[in-house]
Amino acid sequence: MAFDSTVKTAIAPIVSTSELTAVCRRMASHPFVTVDTEFLRETTYYPLLCVAQMASTDEAVVVDALAPGIDLAPFLSLMADEKVMKVFHAARQDIEIVWHLAKLIPHPIFDTQVAAMVLGYGDSISYDQLVQRITGDTLDKSHRFTDWTRRPLSTAQLSYAMSDVTHLRDIYQALVADLGRRGRADWVQEEMNVLTSPDTYRMDPENAWRRLKTRVRKPKELAVLIEVAAWREREAQARDVPRSRVLKDEAIADIAVQAPTTTERLKSLRSLPNGFERSRSGEAIVAAVARGLGRDMKTLPHIARMPAPANGTAVVELLKVLLRMISEQHHVAAKVIATVDDLERIAANDAADVPALHGWRRELFGEKALALKHGELALAIAKGKVAAIERG
pLDDT in tens, 198-208: 988 988 999 99
Give the number of domains in the chain: 3
Same domain, 151 and 169: yes
3 state DSSP class of 86 = strand
Please tell me the distance from the alpha carbon of residue 173 to that of residue 7, in angstroms, as a whole number.
16
Residue 127 Cα to chain centre, angstroms? 15
Give me the pLDDT at residue 3, please. Answer: 44
Same domain, 337 and 376: yes
Are the CB atoms for 388 and 377 separated by under 8 Å? Answer: yes
Are the CB atoms for 264 and 283 separated by under 8 Å? Answer: no
- The CATH number given to whatever domain includes residue 355 is 1.10.150
Q: Is residue 125 part of a domain?
A: yes
Give me the pLDDT at residue 123, please. Answer: 85
Give me the pLDDT at residue 154, please. Answer: 93
Write down which residue in 267, 299, 331 finishes a domain: 299
Are the CB atoms for 11 and 162 separated by under 8 Å? Answer: no
Give me the pLDDT at residue 128, please. Answer: 93
Which of 178, 239, 182, 231 lies closest to 209, judged by CA? 231
Same domain, 59 and 191: yes
Q: CA dist 348 to 315, 354, 371, 379, Å? A: 9, 12, 14, 20
Q: Is residue 53 part of a domain?
A: yes
Q: CA dist 367 to 220, 318, 322, 362, Å? A: 39, 14, 11, 6
Among 163-177, 311-325, 376-390, name the most confident range: 163-177
Give me the pLDDT at residue 304, please. Answer: 56
Are the CB atoms for 354 and 323 separated by under 8 Å? Answer: no
Are the CB atoms for 269 and 258 separated by under 8 Å? Answer: yes
How many CB atoms sit inside 10 A of residue 136's CB?
Answer: 7
Q: Angle 127-135/155-182 helices, nearest 10 degrees? A: 70
Write down which residue in 200, 232, 259 finishes a domain: 200
Rg (CA), the chain: 25
Q: Is residue 307 part of a domain?
A: no
* Confidence label for 387 from pLDDT (cuts 50, 70 and 90): confident
Label residue 383 left, alpha or beta by phi (over 0 means left) and psi (-120 to 50 means alpha).
left
pTM for the full predicted model: 0.87
Same domain, 341 and 267: no
Write down which residue in 249, 269, 299 finishes a domain: 299
Question: Domain containing 68: what range?
Answer: 8-200
Q: Angle 92-102/73-80 helices, nearest 10 degrees? A: 120
Q: Is residue 143 part of a domain?
A: yes
Mean pLDDT in residue range 321-333? 95
* Confidence label for 385 from pLDDT (cuts 50, 70 and 90): confident
Q: Angle 280-293/219-239 helices, nearest 10 degrees? A: 140
* Confidence label for 4 from pLDDT (cuts 50, 70 and 90): very low
Percent of the chain with pLDDT over 90: 80
3 state DSSP class of 146 = coil
Same domain, 371 and 281: no
Q: CA dist 42 to 245, 249, 286, 318, Å? A: 10, 17, 28, 41
How many CB atoms sit inside 10 A of residue 275's CB?
Answer: 9
Sequence-ordered alpha helix ranges (H) in the chain: 17-27, 73-80, 92-102, 112-118, 127-135, 155-182, 185-195, 219-239, 243-246, 249-258, 263-267, 280-293, 312-330, 334-337, 340-348, 359-361, 367-373
Same domain, 194 and 55: yes
